[in-house]
Chains A and B, each alone.
Chain A
Amino acid sequence: MNALASVKAVNEIDWADKNYLVVDDFVGVRQLLREALRSLGAKNIDQASSGGEAMGLLTRIRYDVVLCDYNLGDGKNGQQVLEEARVRNLVNPSTVWLMVSAEKSVESVMGAAEHQPDAYLIKPITEGVLLTRLNRVWHKKQIFRLIDQAYAEKDYLRAARLCDAAIEGHKAHELDLLRMKARLMEKSGEPVKAREVYERVLEQREYQWARAGIAKIRMANGEFEQARQAFQSVIAENRYYIDAYDQLALTYQNLGKLDEACAILERAAKLSPNSVPRQRNLGNVALKVGNVQLAEQAFRKCMLIGEYSIMKTPDAYLGLARVCGQKNDAKEALRLLLQVQREFAADYPDIALRSKITEGLVYHESGDYRRARKAGDELEALLDATESRPDIPTCLELATLLFAVGVKDAPVELLCYVIRNNHDNPLLLDEVQKIFDKARLGDEGLEFIRASKKEATDLMNQGVLLWKTGKLKDAVEWMREARKKLPNNQRILFNAAQILVSHMHQHGYDAALSGEAYEVLHHVDRLLPGQQRFAQLMEQLAQLQPVPEGEPTSGTIAEVA
C-alpha cells in the first residue's frame, strides 16, 4: 500500500531532475539527507555547512529545493539565510524551502511573519516524511502559482478572484486559500470583505489567525478596546501566537498606554528573541516610556542579530545613540552616529540627515543647547542642499527639534511641505498645528496651513476640471506638473493615475502611459499601503494590457520585486 502510494507520488512529480541544496552544520546529517534525496532519484545535490557557504551557493545556482537547518552554529541562522535569499531574489517563487529543526520552533506557529519557509520539519527526517511534505508543498505551489503571480504584480483583486476559483477543486487547501483571500481583501482596502472571509473560517474551526485577522481590522477601524480584548484572548488560547503580541502592543500604543505596550513587547521578545523588527520596536517604546536600561538592552540585541541579517536597519544604532545621550554619554552617542553613517550610507540615502537629527536630540536632551543649536543650523543646511524630504514622521520630528533649538525658517518650510502633500488628512493637520502652537507660532501656523491647503486643492481641482470636460491630454499634462510640485500627495497621485487610465480607455492602450501609471501607483502604495483606490486602479490597468496573461507582465513583476 505504502510502496504503491510512494511510487504514484514520485511518478506524479519528477524529483530526479531537480537541483537540491542541503544546509546543515553536522556532516552526518548532511550525508543522511543526501541519501534520502538520492532515494527519491535526486542527482544534483549541493551541500553547505554554514549560512555563509549557503549564501555563496545560492548566489551562483538556482535551486528547486532547499533543505535548511535552523541552527547553523555561528553566523547566519536558517531563517536569516531564507530572508536574504528571498530579499535578494536568489530563489524562484517555485523554489521549495523546507526548514529543519531539532524541535518544534515557536516561529513555526503560523503567524504573519513576512518570510516563512514552505514547511517546517522536525528531526529525525525520514524519507517518507520528506517525500510527503515535498509533494504537498509542490501541489500547494501549483495551486497558488497564478495567485502569487497576481499578488506580485499587486493586482490584488484578480488574485482574490483566483482564490475563489481555486477553492472549489481543492478542499484540502480551502483554509490556505481563504487566508490568502482575506489578506488580499485587506490589501485592497476592503476590510468588510476580509472580515467576512475570516468569519467563514471561524464557522468551521477556531483558528487563531482568523481571530487575529478580525482584531486587526477592528484596530484599523479605531475600535482599540475591542481589538485589545480580541488579541488578548488569542494569546490566552495560544501563547505562542507571537504576531498577536506585536499587534497587542500596537493597540496599546494607539490607546496611549505605552507602559503596557512595552511590557507586552518584552514578553514577546522573550518568547521569540531573534526578530530584528521586534527588538527595534521594543527599544523605541522603552525609550518613550523612559526605561533606558531596557531600551539599551533591546537596541544592543537588535544590532547583534542584525549583524547577519538582511533585515538590519539603522534604527537600532540611532536609538542606542539616544540612550547614550540620556545617560549623558554624548561621546559614545557620536561614535555610534559615525558608525551608522559608515555602515548604512549605501542603502539609506537620508542617513546623514537622520543621524544629524539624532545628534541634535542627544544634545538637546542632555542640555547642551549651544551644540544643539549648531546641529540645527547644520540640519537647515542639509535641507537647503536637496529637494527631497524624509518621510512624514521624520519631518515632524525634525520640525519639532528645529523649533526647539531656535531655528525658524527651515521647520516652517518642512511643515508646509507636509501639509501640501497631505492636505486632506485632518488628523495630520491637527498635529502640525500643535507643533506650530508649541513654537508659539499658532496664528502664523493657521495661515501657513490654509495657504498650503489651498495650493494643493487648486492644483488638483484644475486637473479634475480638465478631465471632466474631456480635455484628457491636457489633464494628463497638468497632473504631471502637479506631481512635480507635490510628489507625495496621495490624492493628486491617485487622480493622476485615474486620468492616465481614462486616457487609455478613450484613446487605447499606450505602453508609455501605462508604465507611467504603474510608477505613480507603486509610489503611492509605498507611501500608504492597503488603499481601496490602489487595488481598483491596479486592476483596471492590468485589464488594459493588450496581451494575454503570462510573459508580457513579467516586466512589472521585476519592477515590483
Chain B
Amino acid sequence: MDDTPEAPELSLFLASTAHDMKNSISVLSGTLERLLVDASPQTESAYPQMAHMLYQTKRLNDNLMQLLALYKQVGTPAYPFDVQPLELGQLVDQVVALERVLLKSRGLKLELDYDPDLVWHVDEDLIVGVLSHAINNAIHYTCDTVRLAIRVTDDNWLELRVEDNGPGYPPSLLKAGAIATRDTAGGMNFLTNSAGLGLYFSSEVARMHRHRERRGLLRLENGGHFGGGCFILNLP
C-alpha cells in the first residue's frame, strides 16, 4: 500500500488549506457573477475588466479542483471516483449555468445539441468540471460562438464535443494534447505547457471511466462544425 507515514499529515494539511482557499474562491466568483448579472457595459465602465476577473477566477478554481482531484495524496492519483446514472439534461443544465455569466459578459453564443433524456453513467462532478474547463478554454479562443454537442456514436460511445469558431488550436497545443492524452502519459511533459494541466486532468478523467474492456479517451483536433478547435471526450 502507499500509506507512507508522513503522507497523512501532509494530505491533511493540503485538504484543510484547500478547504480554506475554496471558501475564498467561492465568495470571489459568486460576488463577481452577481455584479456582472446586475451590470451591463453601458452602465459599468469596468465591465470588461470584471469579465476578465471572472474568467481568471474560474481558471483558478478549475486548477485547484484539478490539483485536489489528482494529487490529494502527494504524488498518488487518489480521487474517490464514483459513477452514477445521469440524465444529459441535468449534466448540460449545470455546465450551462456555470458558464452563462462569463459567456454573456464576453458577448458569446453557446449552441447546444443533445438529448436531455438520455441516461449515461458518469462521475458527475468530474465531467461537469471537465466540460466547463473546456468551455472556459473555448471562450478564450473562439470568435463568437461555442458549441456543446453530445451524441451516442454507432459503436455505442458517448461523444461529448466542445467546438469553437476561432482559428483552431495552435500546433503546440495539439502536440501537448497528444502527449497528455497518450495512454502511457509522458508523466511530466504537461508541466512545461500552461494548458497541459487541464488536458492531463481531462484525459485522466476520461480514462477513469471504464466499462467492460473500454476506457474513456480525450482528443483535440481542428475542424468540426465550425472548422475551429474541437475538444472531444469519448466515454464508454
Contacts and interface: CB of A to CB of B under 8 A. Distances in A.
Given A110-B84, A240-B80, A26 B93 contact: no
A102 B121 contact: no
A131 B97 contact: yes
A32 B93 contact: no
Most B Cβ at <10 Å: residue of A28, A36, A103, A129: A103
A474 to B, nearest CB: 56
B90 to A, nearest CB: 5
B66 to A, nearest CB: 11
Interface stretch (A149-157, A170-178, A515-523): A170-178
Contact of B22 (A106, A124, A131): A124
B121 A205 contact: yes
B: contact size bracket: 35 or more
Interface string B89-121: 110011011101000000000101000010101
A104 B79 contact: yes
A132 B3 contact: no
A9 B82 CA distance: 26
A128 B97 contact: yes
A544 B34 CA distance: 58
A126 B90 CA distance: 14
B30 A36 contact: yes
B85 interface: yes
Most B Cβ at <10 Å: residue of A105, A109, A122, A124: A124
A109 B93 contact: no
B211 A110 contact: no
Contacts of B3: 267, 270
Nearest to A3: B100
B97 A132 contact: yes
Interface in B40-97: 61, 65, 68-69, 72, 79-87, 89-90, 93-94, 96-97
B224 to A, nearest CB: 20
A5 B6 CA distance: 49
Nearest to B34: A35
Nearest to B57: A124
Contacts of A131: 93, 97
A71 B100 CA distance: 30
A6 B89 CA distance: 11
A29 interface: yes
A: contact size bracket: 35 or more
A129 B79 contact: no
Classify the secondary structure of B's interface with A.
Answer: helix
B87 A172 contact: yes
B8 A126 contact: no
A246 B210 CA distance: 25
Given A1-B112, A35-B30, A129 B85 contact: no
Given A29-B23, A108-B82, A128 B93 contact: yes
Interface in A18-73: 26, 28-29, 31-32, 35-36, 71
Contacts of B29: 124, 126
Given A6-B97, A103-B68, A129-B128, A124 B30 contact: yes
B1 interface: yes
A125 interface: yes
A405 B164 CA distance: 83
Nearest to B37: A39
Given A129-B98, A132-B94, A132-B97, A122 B26 contact: no
B25 interface: yes
A127 B119 contact: no
Contacts of A221: none
Given A29-B26, A128-B100, A270-B3, A105 B80 contact: yes
A102 B19 CA distance: 5
B96 A32 contact: no
A438 interface: no
Contact of B23 (A1, A106, A123, A172): A123
Nearest to B128: A129
A226 interface: no
Contacts of A108: 80, 82
19 contacts: A2-B97, A26-B23, A102-B15, A103-B15, A104-B82, A122-B125, A123-B22, A124-B22, A124-B29, A125-B26, A126-B29, A126-B30, A126-B98, A128-B94, A128-B98, A132-B94, A132-B97, A175-B84, A267-B1
Given A6-B93, A123-B25, A171-B117, 12 more contacts: A2-B96, A9-B93, A32-B27, A106-B80, A110-B82, A123-B23, A124-B29, A128-B98, A129-B94, A132-B94, A136-B90, A270-B8
Interface of A: 1-2, 5-6, 9, 26, 28-29, 31-32, 35-36, 71, 101-106, 108-110, 122-129, 131-132, 136, 171-172, 174-175, 205-207, 238, 240, 267, 270
Q: Which 8 A-B pairs have the closest CB atoms?
A: A128-B97, A124-B26, A102-B19, A240-B80, A28-B27, A102-B22, A2-B96, A123-B22
